[in-house]
Structure 1
Amino acid sequence: MKRAIMRNVQNFIFLMFTFASGVFYFCFYLSAIALGLALSFTVVGIPLLTNVLRTSQTFVQYERIQTKIYTDISIEPLAARQRAEGNQWMQAKAELTDGRNWRIVYWLMQKFTIGISSLLIGVIIYIAPVLFVLVPLFYRYTEINFWGMAVDTELKALLIMSLGIILMIGCSKIGNGLVQLIGGYTRLMFKAIRG
């Protein structure tokens, strides 16, 4: 029982990390690349784009580690890249023309949609059943409606609590499968990045 509860908490944390990281990647790369392209006619834009693309390697390794910790899906790390020889402009050219950087950014930005669905899954599968179980404690103090039915008696509150318990048991198995599916996205991302 304790192991199942810990697994559900771990799954919920993974889903929330997926949401947070997906929003972060989307906002970070969208704003940084747009700003870098807008400033590319000045001296500031190209170094900004170069440094933003260098972060992609770090973020994709973070995704691999996060997936391993929370879903126990093992993925081989990407081979470390060597910085290009030469002055700053030669290094910038090497970073900007490396297709692998742009593939990583593409896959990390796609994580935004997966993050939004992770938030919805986390709330529906893990938060809602817990709230249903807590209805008998709060129905006297606040107005609670469940699908148009006012929860104003103890019998109705106990019915919703029993529905919450059933959902906890059923959604636990569904949640495990969905977390493995979302973790599989990272494996797919690494396969696509390697080419």
Structure 2
Amino acid sequence: MKRAIMRNVQNVIFLLYTFVSGVFYLCFYLVSIVLGLALSFTVVGIPLLTNVLRTTQTFVQHERIQTKIYTDISIEPFETRQRIEGNQWKQAKAELMDVRNWISVYWLMQKFVLGCICLVVGVLIYIAPVCFAFIPLLYPFVELHFFGSVVDSELKALQIMGLGFILMIGCSKLGSGLVQLVGGYTRLMFKAIRG
């Protein structure tokens, strides 16, 4: 029982992490790339784009590690890329022309959509049933509505609590499946980047 509870807590953390990291990747790459392109006519834009594209390898490796920790899906790491020798402009050209960088940016930014889905589903299948279990403690103090019906008696509160316990048991399999799908997304991302 304790192991199942810990696994469900781990699943909730991973689903929320997926949302937060998806928001971060979208904001970081969208702002950085637009700013780098807008400033590309100056001396600042190209180095900014170069440094932003260098972060893709770090973030992709971070996603691999998080997937391994939370889903136990093993993915082979990338070989670390060596920087091109030469001046800053040769390095910038190498980073900008590397297709793997742009594929990584695409897959990392796409994680925002997956993160939004994970947030909604995670709240519905993990957090809502726990809230239902506390209805008998809350209904005397707070006016609660459940599907258009006012929870004003102990019987209704106990029925909702029972529904919460049933959902907790039934939805844990659904949550585990969603976590495995998110892990599969990371595996697909690595496959696409490798080519």
Counterpart residue number, 2:6 = 6
Within 5 Å, which residues of 2 pair with 1:135-146? 135-146=135-146
1:24 aligns with 2:24: yes
Q: Which whole-Å CA distance do the structure 2 matches of 1:181 and 1:97 have between them?
A: 31
Q: Secondary structure at the match of 2:189?
A: helix
Q: Matched residues in 2 for 1:182 and 1:54: separation?
A: 24
| Equivalent residue number for residue 34 of structure 1 | 34
- Matching of residues 52-67 of structure 1 within 5 Å: 52-67=52-67
Equivalent position of 1:185 in the other structure: 185
Residue 121 of structure 1 and its aligned partner are, at CA, apart by: 1.2
Residue ranges of structure 1 left out of the alignment (5+ in a row): none
Task: Tell me the distance in 2 between the aligned counterparts of 1:102 and 1:23.
Answer: 18
Paired letter, 2:106:
Y
Deviations along 1:47-79, one digit per CA (max 9) or x if unpaired, are 000000000000000000000000000000011
Mapped partners of 1:103, 1:21: distance in 2: 17
* SS across alignment from 1:187: helix
Counterpart-to-counterpart distance in 1, 2:43 and 2:182 = 40
Which digits, 9 at most, give the CA deviation of each residue in 1:59-103, with x for residues without a partner? Answer: 000000000000000000011101001000000000000001000
Which residue is 2:167 aligned to? 167
* Structure 2, unaligned runs of 5 or more: none
Q: Which residue of 2 aligns with 1:93?
A: 93
For 2:29 and 2:98, locate their aligned partners in 1 and report how far apart those are by CA, in whole Å. Answer: 16
- Amino acid of the structure 2 residue aligned with 1:81: R
Structure 1 residue ranges (4+ consecutive) displaced by more than 2 angstroms after TM superposition: none
Equivalent positions of 1:36-51 (< 5 A) are 36-51=36-51
What code does the residue aligned with 1:38 have?
A
Find the aligned partners of 1:121 and 1:183 in 2 and give their Cα distance.
16
1:111, 1:117 → 2: CA distance?
A: 10
CA-based RMSD = 0.4
Q: CA deviation at 1:143?
A: 0.3
SS at match of 1:78: coil
Following superposition, the deviation at residue 182 of structure 1 comes to: 1.1
The share of aligned pairs that are identical, in percent, is: 76
Residue 122 of structure 1: how far off its partner (Å): 1.1
C-alpha separation in 2, matches of 1:110 and 1:138: 39
Distance in 2 (alpha carbons) for counterparts of 1:185 and 1:11: 15
Aligned residues: 195
> Partners of 1:177 and 1:50 in 2: how far apart?
38
What is the letter of the counterpart of residue 141 of structure 2? Answer: Y
> Could you tell me how far apart the structure 1 residues matched to 2:85 and 2:93 are?
11
Once the two structures are TM-superposed, the CA of residue 118 in structure 1 deviates from its matched residue by 0.8
Q: TM-score, normalised by structure 2?
A: 0.99
Query: What is the TM-score normalised by the length of structure 1?
Result: 0.99
